[in-house]
Amino acid sequence: MSSAGSIEQTFVQLADGIQRLTLPLPTGPKHVHCYLAHGTLFDTGLGLGDAPWDSVDAERIAITHFHPDHVGGAQSAAEATAAPVFQGGLDYAQCERVWGSDDWPERMAAWFVRHGVPADVTEDLIVQGHAFASFIRYAIDPDLLYEGSEVGGWQVLELPGHADGHLGFLRDGVLVGGDHLLRRITPAVGLYPESRPDPLGDYLASLERTIELAPRVVYPGHGEPIDDAPNRARELIEHHRIRLDDHAAALAAEPRTAYEISLDVFGRELTPTQRRFAVAETLSHLERLVREGRAARFGDDNLVSYTSP
Ligand SMILES: [Zn+2]
């Protein structure tokens, strides 16, 4: 359902000619922001069917990354506005692989088992994964964007880390940043199957790039605008430096799986969903440590483990 009344309640006029639409999320930060600026609608929420797309005057839709709370409403938004959808080339490939294939939860579960995750946690993933996927209505065959592309006067930046194909959109010192940079939340950086091999290395490089770019303001997917982006980027680099040390301290001469190490680093009291995020985050840190010569990886198709070097 949508109406002009509801859109006035949900679109907020910010500075820089930007309007912000905040949509509810059932979990996590409980909300996600979409932005409308210079004719471009950035991101589309989870796709729960409650967004006021009929009233949105968008010439085009651009997606920062394929996570469900950003891409899930893309098809509905495109149908309601008749606007073309733009999405990153790598990001769309991953979007199709995750949301468009029947056996992705099983493939992901098998991969978690190789990293020592117990069956009850991976069985929950299979149930949740299939239940969730039916809600995610991404737009089929979008126009693909890459580093150096331009869309609606916005310069396209590839900012990998939180997602391999994460894009930012820059115009006049304004960065629409998705989940690359958040003000209070530390963006999740996890390793997942069939993905780039060193997402934390990617993320640290994207943060360094953000310091150099020094955008005047970042409009993020969650939380308030960030007007000190270089400082926030430095904080996040420091956060991960400490987390890398925590992971290095959990290594021993005896092989340990990422699951076992995640029990040390993230504690034992997590729900199955939280545990999967924790193991993915542990793996992104372990793989960075391997590349820095501070950890060694062993294993095969059955079980992967890590030791001190
Ligand atoms: Zn995300």
> Mutual orientation of helices 272-291 and 229-249 as an angle, nearest 10°?
90
| pLDDT tens digit sequence for 36-66 | 999 999 999 998 877 889 889 999 999 999 9
Predicted local distance difference test score (pLDDT) of residue 301? 83
Task: Say what the pLDDT of residue 3 is.
Answer: 39
Distance 94 CA to ligand 1 centre (A): 13
Domain residue ranges of the chain, discontinuous segments joined by + = 4-103+136-249
Name all contacts of 23-32 with Cβ < 8 Å and 24+ positions apart: 23/48, 23/50, 23/51, 23/73, 24/48, 24/50, 25/69, 28/69, 28/222, 29/185, 29/222, 29/223, 31/222, 32/69, 32/70, 32/221, 32/222
**Residue 9: what pLDDT?**
44
The low-confidence residues of the chain, meaning pLDDT below 50, are: 1-9
Q: 65 CA to middle of ligand 1, Å? A: 7
Give the Å distance between the CA of 11 and the centre of ligand 1: 21
Contact 251, 208 (CB under 8 A): no
Q: Enumerate residues with CB within 5 Å of ligand 1 (an ion).
A: 67, 179
d(CA 216, ligand 1 centre) in Å = 22
**Residue 192 CA, ligand 1 centroid: distance in Å:** 13
Task: Measure 255 CA to ligand 1 centroid, in angstroms.
Answer: 32
Four-way CATH pick for 4-103+136-249: 3.40.50.300, 3.30.70.980, 3.20.20.70, 3.60.15.10: 3.60.15.10
pLDDT digits (tens, 9 = 90+) for 83-141: 999 999 999 999 999 999 999 999 999 999 999 999 989 998 999 888 888 889 999 99
Model pTM score? 0.95
